[in-house]
Amino acid sequence: MLRTKDILDEKDKRLRLVSEEVTFPLAKEDREKIQSMIEYLTNSQIDRLAEKYDLRPGMGMAAIQLGIPKRYLTIVHEVGEEEFDTYVICNPKIISNSEEMIYVEMGEGCLSINRDIEGIVPRYARVTVEGYDMDGNKIRIRAREELAIAFQHEIDHLNGILFPDHIDKKHPFKGQDRCRPI
């Protein structure tokens, strides 16, 4: 079972690697890792399980956060009380986005960053992501609001980018007037 301690900390230089595209069929180890990522993300959003297993809550994870420089990610989005939509996408690319920009009002978080960071991360309100499922079938996902932010955040990981990189160091709330808080 995946634990919080298995997730790379922001100080780990591997998080800055640009991940390599995967080929199909996916290796058995990658399929198993994806299942453990889904299990972690699901359990981390269920309070009693997060507490029992000492898991930091998260809704998305990129393979590189586990030290695997491959282009796949998982997102487990809570849509109701202990009810989730699960997304697994390999070699994802954002193929279109809205003009409207949003940001997480409470501040964006990350399983690899264990500190509070002041500032806003401007993100597109809507994105369309293309990639492949675990069997190599082409998929397209249209995401809005919180889910759109999660996809942008995780795809950034695959490109060696962490969310604080988007925050203006001198003016952490710069652009706030051109974005909608969610």
Distances (CA, A) of 152 to 10, 31, 36, 121, 135: 18, 22, 22, 11, 23
Residues 17 and 69: beta-carbon distance below 8 Å: yes
How many residues are recorded in the chain?
182
Is 154 tagged catalytic? yes
Catalytic residue among 10, 82, 118, 154: 154
Q: Which long-range contacts (CB under 8 A, 24 or more apart) does 165-171 make?
A: 166/121, 166/122, 167/117, 167/118, 167/119, 167/120, 167/121, 168/119
Active site residue ranges: 154
